[in-house]
Structure 1
Amino acid sequence: MTIVQFEHRDGILDLGWGHPLPSLLPTGAWAAAAASALQTYGWKALTYGHEPGPAPLREWIASRTNVQSAECTFVTAGASHGLSLVAQVLAEPGNTVLVDSPTYHYAFKILTDRGLELIPVRAEDADEVGRLARQHRAAFLYVVPTFGNPTGRSLSLEQRHALAAQGLPIVEDDPYRELYYESAPLPFTAGNVISLGSFAKTVAPGLRLGWISATPELVGRLTRIGSVHSGGGVNHTTALTMAEFAGSGAYGKHVALLRERYRTHRDALSDAMNADRPDGGWFLWLRLPDGVDAESLLTVAERHGTSFVPGPRFHVDRRGGSDRVRLSFSHLPPAELTEAARRLTVAIRSVLGQ
């Protein structure tokens, strides 16, 4: 009976899955928070919720993210759901959206399902973003700004200010912000920046819980979407449980543990691959030797007992990235990461004829 998305393959140490290490999922603390939520809120935890989300969680998110107020926060069923909702209110089918390249590959289908045309752009080049936005009358720019998937890079404050100055709405998909292994990233807000947050990486993806930080006007538009108006707040019971989990201090303790543990994962894989260490997130964006194609290498790597996601999948229409692979260090323990890296190195050498 299939229950989870991850598919284990015998003999494969898979570096492709951007999933949490199962042993780091906080089953006990979450059970305690669920019991506390029912005790605190009673029947109110199980009925239809307030359209933008329950006040206790919205207020905690607002304080944690330094947004103006809870009125600027809308609770979602995760960042992907948030992106779909934002695309619904900001764009019409047939509109153009600028997409940072390379970027989170599953965002492509979310946007094209809305009937949007995707134009790749390098978000670091604000002038190019502005030129393409005007040329294509773009509805917004999509970017993963902090410890990005797949690159692990972050936009600097200067780059973010330069983008905001273009006047284009910017949709920041920001699920990795709290997973920093050096210093905390600086907060950034601007009137035309809409931020998508998620508890998938910091607590558990099975919660399907996140938020949108935006202007009160945009939050109001989100509450008037038909499915929200009809069904009330999204994922209401889980949202109140999260409010208890956060307010009890369990969230802060858990995220501190994740930073400590995932830092050791990062170091194990980076050292084994002789690759640069990203400052946060879950991924290495590995450049391949000259003459090695990412998608061709995948078949060879799996014969050697490991796997990854080829670089072209993170580019619109797979135009680019053939010299890169994304390696996840979140899902396997350090010893298995080291062994997976050894297998990948052997596969690369075999392609090179070494």
Structure 2
Amino acid sequence: MTAPRPPALPVVQFRSRAGSIDLGWGHPHPAALPVDAWAEATRAALRRYGDAALTYGHATGPGPLIEWLCERLGEVDAAAPEPGQVFVTAGASHALDLVSSVLCRPGDVVLVDSPTYHLALRVIADHRVDTVPAPADEDGIDPAATAELIRALTRQGRRVAMLYLVPTFNNPTGRSLPAERRAALLAVAAHTGVPVVEDDTYRELAYPAPAPASLFSGAEPGTVVRIGSVAKSVAPGLRLGWLTAAPPVVRAVTERGYVDSGGGVNHASALALAEFAASGAYRRHVESIRVRYRRQRDALVAAVRAELPQAGFVVPDGGWFLWLRLPDPYDGTELLPYAEAAGVGYVPGRVFFVADGGHRHLRLSYSMFDPETLAEGVRRLAGAYRTAGLSTPLPG
């Protein structure tokens, strides 16, 4: 008699609770993942490159992909990088980890935006540095105050290794750093010698395009390292991204032991992406998902306006997130158990801050669900909001 098969092991990161609408996850809509087109791109790469697609790859990434990245970034940004400024990575988080390993030493200070991508804080903290919030307001980082903070830290004998921020369609706020602040921040980086690490993950998701010019495109050489990814524009499971930096930084990354040992990162997938782009599939795909995500953003905004008029927010011009501010005395963390009991999830605002902050905020993602499901999620959130106002605190 054949023994029954054991339960299958997990395959994906996100597993929703039955009956719940979790608006906390920044994951793509399943229908936005180009399964068939990617299968064809993979076949095309194998036909074109044969065994060269499956061996150890060139250290900085395969030439066809780097050439396309330079061309594409020149189209969607104010300037194209040179091939010697590009290193292909296993996604944006991997790029951040690599950059942190090159720029940081244990005990250094790393300045970060407030609020900022919460999981980036974990990546940076792995390098045994002290993360310190840069001065910021509703428009983002304050360059003048940040320059003064750098000077104060330097007087204390601290080494400021880098400044990390998401200036374009920020996660979690969806907002972009104004042009005048971008210019001022670049001047601070040039004057202080503290490199800026620009997380440019959401550039392709502009509603409408184009996105603001990157910091990297207007920076003096060596002052900005830009990291990017196709996680949002194609698929996160590809684990493909890049960094653009001055050639000395690219060389420092290339000379790391694991690159010397294993060659280029995700070589076969990188060649498939080059084919995906060369066929025109990338361009068509990005155009289609911009329409999709703009529709989903509009659905979430309309639902919040109808169901939670008490909440304040700014409609984002790109990205995947809506940053809500609750009126007094509501707290995003305290509201969460009521929301979960109502069958809806989100990320409380405090997790996006190194120091105290964000308690009256919460982040909703509109990326993963159809408009109808987004509307239902907000209805549940509004119900939880009303229940919280009538109830004693739920047990933690």
Matched, 1:314 2:327: no
- Residues 102-123 of structure 1: CA distance to partner in whole angstroms, max 9, x if unpaired? 0000011111111111001125
The correspondence of residues 326-341 of structure 1 with structure 2, limited to 5 A, is: 326-341=363-378
Partner residue, 2:208: 182
Distance across 2 between alignment mates of 1:180 and 1:328: 15
Distance 1:252 1:233, change over 3 A: same
Question: Contact conserved, 2:24 with 2:347, CA < 8 A, in 1?
Answer: yes
Partner residue, 1:133: 150
Partner residue, 1:204: 235
Matched, 1:258 2:297: no
CA RMSD of the aligned region, Å?
Answer: 1.2
Distance across 1 between alignment mates of 2:201 and 2:277: 17
Question: Contact conserved, 1:73 with 1:211, CA < 8 A, in 2?
Answer: yes
How many residue pairs get aligned? The number is 353
Q: 2:39 aligns with which of 3, 8, 31?
A: 31
Partner residue, 1:171: 197
Distance across 1 between alignment mates of 2:21 and 2:212: 35
Distance across 1 between alignment mates of 2:274 and 2:53: 11
Q: 2:326 aligns with which of 273, 288, 291?
A: 288
Matched, 1:20 2:28: yes
**How much has 1:6 moved relative to structure 2?**
0.4
Matched, 1:241 2:272: yes
The residue matched to 2:295 in structure 1 has which SS? helix
The residue matched to 2:390 in structure 1 has which SS? coil
Q: Which range moves more in the overlay, 175-184 or 261-270?
A: 175-184
Q: Give the number of the structure whose alpha-carbon radius of gyration is greater.
A: 2
**How much has 1:216 moved relative to structure 2?**
1.4
**How much has 1:352 moved relative to structure 2?**
2.3
- Residues 224-273 of structure 1: CA distance to partner in whole angstroms, max 9, x if unpaired? 01111111111111101100001111000000000000111000001110
| TM-score under structure 1 length normalisation | 0.97
Distance across 2 between alignment mates of 1:291 and 1:351: 11
Partner residue, 1:68: 81
**How much has 1:58 moved relative to structure 2?**
0.6
The residue matched to 1:269 in structure 2 has which SS? helix
Partner residue, 2:253: 222
The correspondence of residues 34-49 of structure 1 with structure 2, limited to 5 A, is: 34-49=42-57
The correspondence of residues 14-163 of structure 1 with structure 2, limited to 5 A, is: 14-66=22-74, 67-121=80-134, 122=136, 123-136=140-153, 137-163=159-185
Question: Contact conserved, 1:62 with 1:72, CA < 8 A, in 2?
Answer: no
| TM-score under structure 2 length normalisation | 0.87
Question: Contact conserved, 1:291 with 1:352, CA < 8 A, in 2?
Answer: no
Matched, 1:350 2:376: no
Amino acid at match of 1:181: Y
Question: Contact conserved, 1:270 with 1:276, CA < 8 A, in 2?
Answer: no
- Residues 38-91 of structure 1: CA distance to partner in whole angstroms, max 9, x if unpaired? 011111110111100001111111111133311111000000000000001111
Partner residue, 2:362: 325
Question: Contact conserved, 1:141 with 1:171, CA < 8 A, in 2?
Answer: yes
Distance across 2 between alignment mates of 1:68 and 1:276: 32
Question: Contact conserved, 2:81 with 2:244, CA < 8 A, in 1?
Answer: no
**How much has 1:10 moved relative to structure 2?**
1.1
**How much has 1:276 moved relative to structure 2?**
3.5
